[in-house]
Chain A
Amino acid sequence: MSRARTVTMALALGGLLLAALLLLAGGAPGRDATGAAILLHIRLPRVLLAALVGAMLGLSGTLLQTVLRNPLATPDVVGFGGGAAAAVAASIAVTGGLGLVLPAALAGGLASAALILGLAARGGLPPQALVMIGVAVNLTLLALTDVLLSLAPGLQAGETARFLTGSFASAHWGAVAMAALVVMAGGALAGGLSFGLARMDMGDDMARAQGLAPGGLRLGAAGLAAMLVSFAVALTGPLPFVALLAGPLARALLRQGGPVLPQAALLGALLALAADLAARATVFGGSLPAGLYTALVGGPAMLVLILTTRERG
Chain B
Amino acid sequence: MIRTGLPLVALLCLGLVSLLVGAGGVLPPGALATLGQVDPADSQTILLTQMRLPRTLAALLAGGALGAAGAVIQSLTRNPLAEPGLLGVNAGAALGIIGTLWLGGAVSGLGLIAPAAAGAAVVSGLILALGLRLDTGIGLILGGAALAGMATAVLRGMILLDPFAFDAWRGWIVGSVAAVDAPTLAAGALLVLPGAALAAAAAQKLDAMAMGDEAARALGTSILLARALSLGAGALLSAGAVILAGPLVFVGLIAPQLARGRGEARTGLLTFRAALLGAALVLAADVGGRVAIPGLSIPIGLSAALIGGPLVIWQMTRRLQA
CB contacts (< 8 Å) of B161 on chain A: these are 283-286, 288
Determine whether the beta carbon of A306 is less than 8 Å from that of B134. yes
B154's partner among A157, A285, A296 (CB-CB below 8 A) is A296
Does A269 interact with chain B (Cβ within 8 Å)? no
Interface of A is mostly: helix
Does A158 interact with chain B (Cβ within 8 Å)? yes
Does A13 interact with chain B (Cβ within 8 Å)? no
Does A213 interact with chain B (Cβ within 8 Å)? no
Interface of B is mostly: helix
Per-position 1/0 for A131-158, Cβ under 8 A of B: 0110111011001101101110010011
Does B125 interact with chain A (Cβ within 8 Å)? no
Task: Take A140-B305, A143-B309, A306-B134 as given contacts and tell me if A288 and B317 are in contact as well, using a CB distance cutoff of 8 Å.
Answer: no
CA distance A142 to B132 in the complex (A): 28
Determine whether the beta carbon of B320 is less than 8 Å from that of A288. no
Per-position 1/0 for B305-322, Cβ under 8 A of A: 110111011001100110
The distance from the CB of A239 to the nearest CB of chain B, in whole angstroms, is: 11
The distance from the CB of B163 to the nearest CB of chain A, in whole angstroms, is: 7
Task: Take A161-B156, A298-B149, A312-B136 as given contacts and tell me if A306 and B130 are in contact as well, using a CB distance cutoff of 8 Å.
Answer: yes
Known A146-B174, A149-B170; 9 more pairs at CB < 8 Å: A119-B317, A122-B321, A143-B301, A147-B301, A161-B156, A292-B156, A299-B147, A302-B142, A303-B130
CB contacts (< 8 Å) of A154 on chain B: these are 167
Counting residue pairs across A and B whose Cβ atoms lie within 8 Å, the total is: 137
Task: Take A77-B142, A147-B302, A295-B153 as given contacts and tell me if A140 and B309 are in contact as well, using a CB distance cutoff of 8 Å.
Answer: yes
Determine whether the beta carbon of B316 is less than 8 Å from that of A147. no
Does B250 interact with chain A (Cβ within 8 Å)? yes
Identity of the chain A residue whose Cβ is nearest the Cβ of B309 in the assembled complex: A140
Task: Take A132-B316, A292-B153, A299-B153 as given contacts and tell me if A139 and B86 are in contact as well, using a CB distance cutoff of 8 Å.
Answer: yes
CB contacts (< 8 Å) of B321 on chain A: these are 122
CA distance A129 to B317 in the complex (A): 8
CA distance A286 to B262 in the complex (A): 55
Q: Which residues of B contact A (CB under 8 A)?
A: 81, 86, 130, 133-134, 136, 138-139, 141-143, 145-147, 149-150, 152-154, 156-157, 159-161, 163, 166-167, 170-171, 173-174, 249-250, 299, 301-302, 304-306, 308-310, 312-313, 316-317, 320-321
Does A85 interact with chain B (Cβ within 8 Å)? no
Determine whether the beta carbon of B142 is less than 8 Å from that of A133. no
CB contacts (< 8 Å) of B301 on chain A: these are 143, 146-147, 150
CA distance A120 to B211 in the complex (A): 29
Ordered by A's residue number, 27 sampled pairs between the chains whose C-beta atoms are within 8 Å are: A133-B316, A136-B309, A136-B313, A140-B309, A140-B310, A140-B312, A143-B305, A143-B308, A144-B305, A144-B309, A150-B299, A157-B170, A161-B156, A161-B159, A165-B157, A241-B149, A283-B157, A283-B161, A295-B149, A295-B150, A296-B150, A299-B149, A302-B146, A303-B130, A303-B146, A307-B139, A312-B136
CA distance A302 to B157 in the complex (A): 20
CB contacts (< 8 Å) of B143 on chain A: these are 302-303, 306
CA distance A291 to B302 in the complex (A): 27
Task: Take A77-B145, A139-B86 as given contacts and tell me if A161 and B160 are in contact as well, using a CB distance cutoff of 8 Å.
Answer: yes
The distance from the CB of B242 to the nearest CB of chain A, in whole angstroms, is: 14
Does A164 interact with chain B (Cβ within 8 Å)? yes
CB contacts (< 8 Å) of B133 on chain A: these are 307
CA distance A295 to B154 in the complex (A): 9
Determine whether the beta carbon of A306 is less than 8 Å from that of B313. no
Determine whether the beta carbon of B156 is less than 8 Å from that of A306. no
Does A41 interact with chain B (Cβ within 8 Å)? no
Identity of the chain B residue whose Cβ is nearest the Cβ of A152 in the assembled complex: B170
Does A300 interact with chain B (Cβ within 8 Å)? yes
The distance from the CB of B161 to the nearest CB of chain A, in whole angstroms, is: 5
CA distance A158 to B81 in the complex (A): 32
Determine whether the beta carbon of B160 is less than 8 Å from that of A288. yes
CB contacts (< 8 Å) of B149 on chain A: these are 240-241, 295, 298-299, 302
CA distance A77 to B141 in the complex (A): 11
CA distance A122 to B163 in the complex (A): 47
Identity of the chain B residue whose Cβ is nearest the Cβ of A133 in the assembled complex: B316
The distance from the CB of A116 to the nearest CB of chain B, in whole angstroms, is: 9
Identity of the chain B residue whose Cβ is nearest the Cβ of A285 in the assembled complex: B161
The distance from the CB of A97 to the nearest CB of chain B, in whole angstroms, is: 19
Does A208 interact with chain B (Cβ within 8 Å)? no
CB contacts (< 8 Å) of A292 on chain B: these are 153-154, 156-157
Determine whether the beta carbon of A133 is less than 8 Å from that of B153. no
Does A289 interact with chain B (Cβ within 8 Å)? yes
The distance from the CB of A269 to the nearest CB of chain B, in whole angstroms, is: 21
CA distance A135 to B253 in the complex (A): 13
CB contacts (< 8 Å) of A162 on chain B: these are 160
The distance from the CB of A301 to the nearest CB of chain B, in whole angstroms, is: 8
CB contacts (< 8 Å) of B81 on chain A: these are 132, 135-136
Determine whether the beta carbon of A296 is less than 8 Å from that of B153. yes
Q: Across the A-B interface, give the 5 residue pairs with the lowest CB-CB distance, nearest first.
A: A140-B309, A295-B153, A299-B150, A143-B305, A150-B174
Task: Take A150-B171, A151-B174, A299-B153 as given contacts and tell me if A119 and B313 are in contact as well, using a CB distance cutoff of 8 Å.
Answer: yes
Determine whether the beta carbon of A136 is less than 8 Å from that of B312. yes
The distance from the CB of A296 to the nearest CB of chain B, in whole angstroms, is: 6
CB contacts (< 8 Å) of B136 on chain A: these are 312
Determine whether the beta carbon of A136 is less than 8 Å from that of B316. yes
Does A72 interact with chain B (Cβ within 8 Å)? yes
CB contacts (< 8 Å) of B152 on chain A: these are 295
Identity of the chain A residue whose Cβ is nearest the Cβ of B176 in the assembled complex: A150
The distance from the CB of A160 to the nearest CB of chain B, in whole angstroms, is: 11
The distance from the CB of A245 to the nearest CB of chain B, in whole angstroms, is: 11
Best-buried of B130, B310, B312, B321 by chain A (most CB within 10 Å): B312
CB contacts (< 8 Å) of B160 on chain A: these are 161-162, 165, 286, 288-289
CB contacts (< 8 Å) of A299 on chain B: these are 146-147, 149-150, 153
